[in-house]
Amino acid sequence: MILEKQHRVLVQGITGRQGRFWTERMQECGTQIVAGVNPKRAGETCCDVPVFASARAAVDEVGPIDVSVMFIPPAAALGAAIDAIEGGVRMIVVLTEHIPSQDVMRIHAAARQYGTRIIGPNTAGIVTPGQAFAGIMPAFNGRIFQPGDVGVISRSGSLGTLICLNLVNAGLGQSAFLGVGGDPMLGTTTAQAFQALDADVRTNAIVIVGEIGGAMEEQAAEAVERSSKPVVSFITGRASPPGKKMGHAGAIVMGNQGSYHSKRSSLEAAGARVVDTPGEIAVALQDAIATLHA
């Protein structure tokens, strides 16, 4: 789940305006992109890598692929994801939002069958500063991402970017950023992302950026309780009225389930420090680390 510079990356939709732009940014940051996919442009090159008609054709030609990044519109996302899954790609970063629910369920079912990790849908991607990134996060901006030992998990790309900026401004860097995505049916949960960072030897502290809706933060609290690493969290949506959808498709509260109070109390009971504003995260993190080593 944590991207490294040796991982071989495929870009589905590489020849589009966004695909080409972000492929160039990923290459600048060290991402090892080995091929792209566009059925209409097969046989060409783009961003100095060969373009194939399918993910399976790319694997047959260039060898095993660790990660695929999808710059694919919603109506074509199912076919592109199945192509990568059946081609043996180990992890797919699904940037696409507004994929039909039935298509998302079919993607997840195929991924379980083939043992493929899905990040997303509706994710901004994953970043390992100083090594590589996959997605649309500004990993190339040194004011936002710097190598360090703080792991960051976020459902929101924009809010995750703000948190990473605040960390760097405070003299802290990131071991990894994991954008789990804003879809109501995610392939990777906050708890699973937390477990990956908890097991990562380069990560010494973890930030959870959550939001109202669903139960991912409550479920992650169980993993937080078992961890010995300092954890700081910010949950957005404190002032949202119950029963009203806010922002991401998954951000809807039904009764007390998924409420701000439920998430905050669960994380605090597990030992995490939950702050009121994003600007407090770095100070709370420094304090938590100092307390741990006192």
Judged by DSSP in three states, 185 sits in: coil
Which residue stretches of the chain are H helix?
Answer: 17-28, 55-62, 74-86, 101-114, 157-169, 190-199, 216-226, 260-269, 281-293
Which strand (E) or helix (H) includes residue 172? none
248 catalytic per annotation: yes
Query: What are the backbone dihedrals phi and psi of residue 55, each rounded to the nearest 5 degrees, phi first?
Result: -65, -40
Strand 132-135 vs strand 125-128: parallel, antiparallel, or unpaired?
antiparallel
Active-site entry in 7, 248, 261, 293? 248
Cα 94 to its chain centre, rounded Å, is 9
Pairing of strands 32-37, 205-211: unpaired
Give dist(CA 5, CA 1) in Å, integer: 13
Q: DSSP assignment of 33-100, as one string? A: EEEEE-GGGTT-EETTEEEESSHHHHHHHH---SEEEE---HHHHHHHHHHHHHTT-SEEEE---S--
Catalytic residues: 248
